[in-house]
Amino acid sequence: MTEESAATVAGDEREARRSVFKRALSRPEFGSLVGAIAVLTFFSWRADTFLTARGLANVLDPSATLGIMAVAVGLLMIGGEFDLSAGVMVGATATMFALLTADAGLNIWLAMAISLAFAVLIGLFNGFMVLKTRLPSFIVTLGTLFMILGANVGLTRLITDTVIVSGVGNVPGFDFPFKIFAANPVGQFRITVVWWIVMTALATWVLLRTSFGNWIFGVGGDAQAARSVGVPVAFTKLMLFVYVSVSAWLVGMMNTFRLASASVSTGIGQEFEFIIAAVIGGCLLTGGYGSAIGAAIGALIFGMVRQGIVLSGWDSDWFFLFLGVMLLIAALINQIVRKKAEEARS
């Protein structure tokens, strides 16, 4: 063994053993991890209620649903595309489900299945439009955003005369799906946190340990090159768009079961929060680089800052200042990382 290592060192004296620290440094989520620790330290110092069970539950609660979306949007971004309709899809799948079951009296599971099918359809629509027209997904999904928003508000108002569909709690069979999507299994901690962790772990595994994950990096890095070496580019992108819409449906169900009602305004404007969380987590806006764990940490930072500001007794308006600063820092770090990875020679 010693002989062997001596031979390799002799073979190329530039051989440098990369330390564990250096490896960690080169991970896309490294910056966000440092940021998360900094934010945690800061608010634990500012507000003594921050590090209590209640404080943590309040941090994790909004982080979880945001995180599920940020991870999905992050994977899509690594695959080189955006989905601006992800936010309104949360509200649209929720109201659709609520209308079908609370208003039209459909079986609760059937209503869930139909709204899920709708989410899959919208994902396919976004994907096909982007692939067929070759327009930037930013524009295509911006169109989808407004189409869905308009149709959702219009239809809901037409049917219920309001913009909120209530009475989901009275639908037969409410209890079991409530347990799956919205219960508090441990103290104040919601089951959504479990979903968040499971979805992040699953996305990480797919991204780093499967062929499909390799294709995601490939199509986001250079779609033409990826196609040239045999990656099914269209399939990969389609699946990513569907994954984002289905995640929106999942979060839509979580919201609806928790509140026992659905509002058309849910998720409006959140599409940028998903993207920002993914960028804070190290996903490149230009695609081809990033991580699912990073996007989840980005969402956690979001939750911590939002809750920390409240617990520190500050006006919640300061949240946006924080957000802007964090986004800029993250984008700068990402740019340096990208430059290093693409140009710098060891």
Interface positions with another protein (CB under 8 A): 11-12, 14-16, 18, 205, 209-211, 213-215, 217-218, 221-222, 224-232, 284, 288-289, 338, 341-346
* Contact predicate 72/340, CB 8 Å: no
Q: Which is nearer to another protein, 230 or 313 (CB)?
A: 230
Considering beta carbons, is residue 44 or 214 the nearer one to another protein? 214
| Helix or strand run (H / E) with residue 114 | helix 108-133
Nearer of residues 151 and 336 to another protein, judged by Cβ: 336
Query: Cα(286)–Cα(301) distance, rounded to whole angstroms?
Result: 22
Q: How far apart are CA 47 and CA 317, in angstroms?
A: 18
Cβ closer to another protein: 204 or 266?
Answer: 204
Query: Looking up tokens 């820092």, which residue turns up?
Result: 329
Task: Tokens 């080189």: give the residue.
Answer: 80
Least gap, CB of 223 to another protein (angstroms): 10
Q: How far is the CB of 285 from another protein (least distance, A)?
A: 13
- Are 264 and 95 spatial neighbours (Cβ–Cβ below 8 Å)? yes
Smallest gap from Cβ 244 to another protein, in A, equals 21
CB of 227 to another protein, least distance (A): 6
H, E, C per residue of 208-225: HHCHHHHHHHHHHHCHHH
Nearest distance, CB of residue 28 and another protein, angstroms: 10
* Cβ neighbours of residue 182 closer than 8 Å, sequence gap 6 or more: 190, 191, 192, 254, 257, 258
Q: How far is the CB of 335 from another protein (least distance, A)?
A: 13
8 versus 170: smaller Cβ distance to another protein: 8
Q: Residue 280: which of 290, 271, 270, 267 has the closest Cα?
A: 290
Q: Mapping DSSP to helix (H, G, I), strand (E, B) and coil, where does residue 191 land?
A: coil
Q: What is the CA radius of gyration of the chain?
A: 22
Q: Are 202 and 75 in contact (CB under 8 A)?
A: no
Shortest distance (Å) from residue 204 CB to another protein: 12
CB nearer to another protein: give 18 or 54. Answer: 18
Of 48 and 222, which has the nearer Cβ to another protein? 222
Name which of 252, 262, 241, 239 is nearest 115 in CA terms: 252
